Amino acid sequence: MTPPTSSLRMALRAAPLRSVQSSHAPRRAPSSRRALQVFSEGNGRFIVGGNWKCNGTKASVTALIDELNAGQLSGAKVDIVVAPTFLHIHTAMAGLDASRFQVAAQNSWVEDFNDPTHHYDSNTGAFTGEVSAEMLEDMGIPWVILGHSERRTLMGETDAIVGKKVAHARFHGLNVIACVGETLAERESNSTLEVIFRQLQAVADEIDDREHSSWGSQVVIAYEPVWAIGTGKVATPEQVQEVHAAIRKWLADNVSAEVSKATRIQYGGSVNAGNCEELAKFSDVDGFLVGGASLKGEDFIKICNSSAVHYKAVGRM
């Protein structure tokens, strides 16, 4: 793989989404509203991620692994990725049924962001407290979550930093779940798509034209509206579909039609066992990135099994 470069710079284009009506969860759009936007549904395999965040003890992680291994999957095609803390990755890799579950790290490092001599073939060094993409590659950890809003907000990661991290992780062969999403204020100001496209462009700027295939097969986009993460508020299925369709169109316009179809777009934002099937019915919802509900084995398995609802709804059984 060639080192990532800043080579893909295209104009952003799309109309803003309608705004949230209040600081509470948006109400479902009435049926009299305009037809739901569908650009062109993807053809990728349904994927569900479980982000365990900063949770877990030796006992609770072992119990959760036992619950997941005992869970009955519906048989529908689904990729399942769980992201324990760094301390619990070894336990998860050793204990989970590897034929059904893959493991992700929650973050990875990438050298000096402002160094013009930045070398993508080595990202180890004097970075206390960090874990490098090279280390994840060496340990055989196949996935990493990057750009989560909690990293952006709490750790000050900019769009440019996230873009470099994604490209760096890809250079080391890692599959990436790249998170994008808007705050409540940004949605209410009709800036949702502007924000998301800016975040996507920062990734595109770091992926070489010759590596566009990375988008479809190794980079998953997770749309996570910040106002819906851990709050119990969930975007309506129509709002989720509208954003996902816009992301897919952006990929077609700025990367390629093939990548647009192949890239999987997850929804994350208080997804749970009670709302997953309704969300999964929409054509451009290719899976979920789940927070709190991923810590409950039975609930998480039900969310994974919503893949059957998705395939049936889009006619891909």
Active site residues: 148, 224
Alpha helices in the chain (DSSP H): 58-70, 89-95, 133-138, 149-155, 159-171, 184-188, 192-204, 213-218, 237-254, 257-262, 276-280, 297-305, 307-313
**Strand, helix or coil for residue 80:** strand
Tell me which amino acid residue 56 is.
Answer: G
Q: Phi/psi of residue 19, each to 5°? A: -90, 160
Q: What is the DSSP letter of 154?
A: H
Q: In whole angstroms, give the CA distance from residue 125 to residue 141.
A: 20
- Rounded to 5°, angle at Cα 289 from 285 and 294: 130
User: Do residues 103 and 89 make contact, with C-beta atoms less than 8 angstroms apart?
Assistant: yes
DSSP 109: B
Matching residue, tokens 């470099």:
164
How far apart CA 41 and CA 281 sit, in angstroms, is: 12
- φ, ψ of residue 81 to 5 degrees: the values are -130, 130
Other CB atoms within 10 Å distance of the CB of residue 72:
8
